Chains A and B, each alone.
Chain A
Amino acid sequence: QVQLVQSGAEVKNPGASVKISCKASGYTFTGYSMHWVRQAPGQGPEWMGWINANSGDTNFAQKFQGRVTMTRDTSISTVYMDLSRLRSDDTAIYYCARGIGWYTPMDYWGQGTLVTVSS
């Protein structure tokens, strides 16, 4: 069965960076893309960007361009999301979610990783 397992909760100071991992299993890793979506407390989800797990090509929401990096390691079926210059309003649960490509929704989600930004 498809599983996406994310790394654990993080607490960061403002201005720092955070790197979250998402390990995939149960499907052909390079046949899909991976989205990153975050959800601030009490808010709806917000799409951050995605990475093509085969080519490594990325596409980011304009809001995060310049601050976010997404990479993958095909040898261990894992994708990573790195967000830099953290601010207090980056406090949220961050999810990885599987996608196929353009014009498709997200069919499987990780369990989420809470990132708290506080001094």
Chain B
Amino acid sequence: DIQMTQSPSTLSASVGDRVTITCRASQSISTWLAWYQQKPGKAPKLLMYGASSLESGVPSRFSGSGSGTEFSLTISSLQSDDFATYYCQQYNSYWTFGQGTKVEIK
């Protein structure tokens, strides 16, 4: 099974900050990686797929990069609506999620 490890587990930031979340796969997954945003009491929402392709309707302040085993999600200027938990997911071999990164208000 492919394991996904995210860092940090929690990130404290302010509105307007640039934040980056990293995700590491236990083996190469090419660019078969997605990012999801989840708010309390809600289902995850697809933000990005193919490591760097933005899902329709997602603001352009979100960007993704990486390939192989190292990936990152960047929010260029954090907005109040962005405080949430973010999960990476590999879909190279079945589907596996990371443990999540909670972005909280500093």
Closest to A50 in B: B95
Given the known inter-chain contacts A109-B43, A110-B43, A111-B43, please indicate yes or no for A103 contacting B95, CB distance below 8 A: no
**Interface size of A by Cβ–Cβ distance < 8 Å?**
21
Interface presence of B45 (CB below 8 A): yes
Q: Is the CB of B44 within 8 A of A109?
A: yes
Q: Which of B13-21, B64-72, B75-83, B86-94 contacts A (4 or more CB under 8 A)?
A: B86-94
> Does A32 interact with chain B (Cβ within 8 Å)?
no
Complex Cα spacing A41 to B45, Å: 18
Point out the residue from A37, A45, A105 that lies within 8 Å of B91, measured CB to CB.
A105
Contacts of B36 in A (CB 8 A): 45
B22 within 8 A of A: no
Q: Do B46 and A105 touch across chains, with their CB atoms under 8 A apart?
A: yes
Nearest chain B CB to A82 CB, angstrom units: 20
Q: Which residue of B lies closest to A42 (CB)?
A: B100
B94 engages A103 (CB within 8 Å): no
Question: CB distance B55 to A107 under 8 Å?
Answer: yes
Most buried by A among B43, B89, B91, B96: B43
Interface string of B38-49 (1 = CB under 8 A from A): 000001111001
CA–CA, A66 to B52, complex, Å?
37
Q: Does B34 contact A (CB under 8 A)?
A: yes
A104-B97 contact in complex given A95-B43, A110-B43, A111-B43, C-beta closer than 8 Å: no
> Can you list 6 contacts pairing A with B, beta carbon distance less than 8 Å?
A45-B89, A95-B44, A103-B32, A105-B91, A107-B55, A112-B43
